[in-house]
Amino acid sequence: MSAPSLAQVLPDADLIHDRATLERAILRVADEVRADYAPEAASGGSSRPLFVTIMHGGMPFAAQLAFALGERGLDLEFDYLHATRYRGHTSGSGLAWLHRPATSMRDRRVLLADDILDEGHTLLAVKRWCEDQGAADVRVAVLAVKRHDRRVDGIDADYVGVEVPDRYVFGYGMDYREQGRNLPAIYALKA
């Protein structure tokens, strides 16, 4: 028996955060990031922060955050990476690197943008990889943090949009079996 489709689960899903709430959260995160990066920008530092989107889930959040940072006068250099533990499933396995950034990170300030910090396996591996590449500073911005006590040691988000319950969530970059990433809100499957 195959799993239900998005069209089958969405009508019964719980709305966790609507679009307006997420948009306000992203603007708040942009203010926090800008405040942290303002001294470097004001001093005329020659190195723009390297803004790295973690694909695919981080794309909607990263795009909105990047626009908000641009509106706040923070110029960014962009790259992306694709590392996943899920591959269309609802539970993770070993980390697979599908694309690594081409931009040198040596002595750079790196801002990672992702959809969610759940247990943290992927983000920890990505952050360590950036540090191994010589990044001077690596910060993590996520749209959502899942509330639970299963987070791996060594990873936290520096910037958080919203918290979500310890349930299967989807929308705004997060998928339900590779569907629903483009929903403009965050939903949770019925418990």
Question: β-strand 169-170 against 186-188: which pairing, if any?
Answer: antiparallel
SS3 121: helix
CB 43 within 8 A of CB 109: no
Which residue in the block uniquely carries the two structure tokens 């405040």? 35
| 14, 118, 149, 156: the active-site residue | 118
Tell me how far apart the alpha carbons of residues 181 and 171 are, in angstroms, rounded to a whole number: 5
Q: What is the pLDDT of residue 67?
A: 98
Q: Is 118 a catalytic residue?
A: yes
Angle between the N-to-C axes of helices 19-42 and 59-71, in degrees from 0 to 180, rounded to the nearest 10: 50
Tell me how far apart the alpha carbons of residues 147 and 23 are, in angstroms, rounded to a whole number: 20
**Per-residue confidence in pLDDT tens, the chain, 191 aa:** 788 999 999 999 999 999 999 999 999 999 999 999 986 655 555 579 999 999 999 999 999 999 999 999 999 999 999 998 765 555 556 788 899 999 999 999 999 999 999 999 999 999 999 999 999 999 999 999 999 999 999 999 999 999 999 999 999 999 999 999 999 999 999 97
Cis peptide before 56 (omega within 30 of 0): yes
Answer positive or negative: Cα dihedral of 91, 121, 57, 65.
positive
Tell me how far apart the alpha carbons of residues 56 and 62 are, in angstroms, rounded to a whole number: 10
Give the right CATH number for 19-37+47-80+105-168 from 3.40.50.2020, 3.20.20.80, 2.30.30.60, 3.50.50.60: 3.40.50.2020
Tell me how far apart the alpha carbons of residues 141 and 21 are, in angstroms, rounded to a whole number: 17
- What letter represents residue 32's amino acid? E
Tell me how far apart the alpha carbons of residues 17 and 124 are, in angstroms, rounded to a whole number: 26
